[in-house]
Amino acid sequence: MSRPLRTGVLFGLLLLVADQLSKWWILEVVRLEEVRNIPVLMLGPVGLDLTMVWNRGVTFGLFSGQGSWNHLILAVLALVVAGFLLRWLARAETRLVTYALGAVIGGAVANVIDRFRFGAVVDFVDVHAAGWHWYVFNLADAAIVCGVLALVADALIRPETQRKEAP
């Protein structure tokens, strides 16, 4: 196993475990499904709440069909994408790409676990400002978004001279 693959998979696994522990805490300890909303922080017009949402779609609730196969189709699609990303991870050229791919893979697999366990993804972090709410998300979603942003930054910023020729 290549060093980038080992490092990225370990990082993704740590994110997956942290995500699943946070969801367990939200559901079993905080019991957010019953409470629905807990204001956590308010700094002027900016706030952070814990708000329970069962996301049956993907990012922003897209493709959130109610069919009995919807969650399985989305889960299988996420696993296929994770498989392609694992192949890329094995050939990662930089630490940034290694950790970014690990974050995306770990986040995707964590949300797949939710889809198989619950038929939906557990989302609970609600950031808002001046009455406008961003989408409700979880640690896995944050890992995916940060990983994708890091990959885009790497593609846009890293000089071409530092890139290896594809085999």
Task: Give the pLDDT confidence score for residue 61 in this predicted structure.
Answer: 47
Residue that wins the pLDDT comparison between 151 and 161: 151
- For 25-63, write each residue's pLDDT tens digit: 999 999 999 999 999 999 999 999 999 999 886 554 444
Residue that wins the pLDDT comparison between 100 and 61: 100
- For 104-130, write each residue's pLDDT tens digit: 999 999 999 998 899 889 999 999 999
Amino acid at 68: S
Q: Write the burial class of residue 78 (CB in 10 Å: 0-12 exposed, 13-18 middle, 19+ buried).
A: buried
pLDDT higher than 90, residue 137? yes
Q: What is the pTM of this model?
A: 0.84
Q: How far is CA 34 from the centre of its chain?
A: 24
d(CA 104, CA 140): 8
* Residues 139 and 24 sit within 8 Å (Cβ to Cβ): no
If you average pLDDT over residues 137-165, what whole number do you get? 86
Task: Give the pLDDT confidence score for residue 167 in this predicted structure.
Answer: 35
If you average pLDDT over residues 72-81, what whole number do you get? 81
List residues with catalytic annotation: 123, 141
